[in-house]
Amino acid sequence: MTRGFRGVVTRTTPSEVGARLAELGLAQQILRDALEAGLAAAALTTANHPPNFGGTSLWAEAVRGLRESLIPTGWHRDNAYNLPTVVRGDGKIAITVAAGDEGTGDANLHPSTSYKRGPVMAGKVAVNQHLPFEHLPVGYGDPDPNQPEATWILLHYREHDQLRCELSLPVTINKKGFVETWGERIILTPIDIDPARVRILDDEPVEPTIEIKRRA
């Protein structure tokens, strides 16, 4: 474990990555399998598809893959405000999927989201700011209504013939909607890509702006 840019905790070695994911009720293979399912869907993209079809397919299938692996173990899906997540049984951890920039999956760089996030994700990040980085208990317990959920992002970034990826906890997001800092980064093993099968991808859709107006 190292503390890097702005004090972020970064976990890179197989032993510490595995141990930390186990504390969260996860395994690296589950996360990588979800992204590989996304890549398989993206491989169906042709020049005749809409420009964002590949990125949308990767995102959607990765979300589905996470849910199908984790729901049988006690997690549940949540689509509140059009931000699809999978939530641990005790409600303390939620995971969403997003594309990152070139810093993703590289412990020596500082990543950000590749595209701006919407106001719903900004609200989740604001909640993360007030949680201690080591607040997440081992195992499962009864839901605590006074403990807000922490929302992690399964980030991915394609570089040539690899998909770099990490599971990270965003703690600040700038006015333009890009994540600026992370409380914790768990660097995953990259996924090999056949460039002949998977085209360069545009990003997944971003949750919409939601305006709430009072009734007259």
Rounded Cα distance, 180 and 212, in Å: 27
Which residues is 170 bridged to in the sheet? Answer: 182
Query: What are the residue boundaries of the structural domains of the chain, listed by start?
Result: 2-137+144-192
- Strand pairing report for 2-3 and 9-11: antiparallel
Residue in the structure block whose two tokens are 């173990």: 73
Rounded Cα distance, 186 and 104, in Å: 10
> Can you read off the two tokens belonging to residue 23?
């504390």
Mean pLDDT for back-to-back runs of 10 residues, the chain (216 residues): 66 96 97 95 85 87 97 96 94 94 94 89 88 47 57 93 95 90 96 70 51 50
Contact yes or no for 97/105 (Cβ under 8 A)? no
pLDDT at 142: 43
Residues in the chain: 216
Contact yes or no for 199/22 (Cβ under 8 A)? no
pLDDT at 46: 82
Contact yes or no for 95/152 (Cβ under 8 A)? yes
Work out the burial of residue 83: count CB atoms within 10 Å of its CB; fewer than 13 is exposed, 13-18 middle, 19 or more buried.
buried
Rounded Cα distance, 32 and 163, in Å: 10
Model confidence, pTM: 0.83
pLDDT at 77: 95
Rounded Cα distance, 133 and 204, in Å: 28
pLDDT at 206: 53
pLDDT at 52: 83
pLDDT at 196: 64
Q: How far is CA 137 from CA 88, 92, 177, in A?
A: 12, 9, 30
pLDDT at 131: 73
> Can you read off the two tokens belonging to residue 104?
């993703």
pLDDT at 159: 86
